[in-house]
Amino acid sequence: MPESLEARALALLARREHSRAELQRKLASHAESAAELEHLLDELERRRQLSDVRYAENRVSIRGRRYGNNRLLQEMRQSGVAPDAIAAALADAGDETGRCRQVWQKKFGLLPETPGERARQQRFLQYRGFSQEAIRQVLQGLNEDGEHE
């Protein structure tokens, strides 16, 4: 017996938070019509079982320890999260420079001594989505107050 559309949606939401657009994409092939799917998604949002704001907060909370705001922003845009929900979640992410410093400390720990090593460390932090300002402060050995460590 085929699983109902609502049961599929709840099974996906039980595993992890999903954005509305993600859930819509995953369920589209199982829905009899687009209207049925829209109605289900509206009902899940009404019952607060589906929330883009909660998805964005969860995403930032989990991935924010390893990635910068640029990467988190891009991931949430690709998941179809509304810009206001993204902005609110990133505002609660904490100090990006501090997170960048923790990632850098775990990976490298020592300030670069050569231009090549500096470029390598910078590329790594850029790939992780940290801003140029956060990377600059970390690689110059500046602490949270902007003073040399």
Write the pLDDT tens digit of every residue in 99-108.
Answer: 999 999 999 9
Would you place residue 1 in the very low, low, confident or very high pLDDT band (cuts 50, 70, 90)? very low
Would you place residue 144 in the very low, low, confident or very high pLDDT band (cuts 50, 70, 90)? low
Q: What digits encode the pLDDT tens for the residues 5-33?
A: 999 999 999 999 999 999 999 999 999 99
- DSSP string over 82-125: -HHHHHHHHHTS--HHHHHHHHHHHHT-S---SHHHHHHHHHHH
d(CA 105, CA 111): 9
Percent of the chain having pLDDT more than 70? Answer: 93
Q: Is residue 113 a contact partner of residue 105, using CB atoms and an 8 Å limit?
A: no
What would the two tokens of residue 51 be?
Answer: 């929330």
d(CA 108, CA 102): 10
d(CA 98, CA 40): 41
What would the two tokens of residue 117 be?
Answer: 């090593």
Percent of the chain having pLDDT more than 90? Answer: 86
d(CA 134, CA 71): 14
pTM to 2 decimals?
0.83
Give pLDDT, residue 148.
Answer: 47
Helix (H, G, I), strand (E, B) or coil at 148: strand
Give pLDDT, residue 2.
Answer: 53
Helix (H, G, I), strand (E, B) or coil at 30: helix
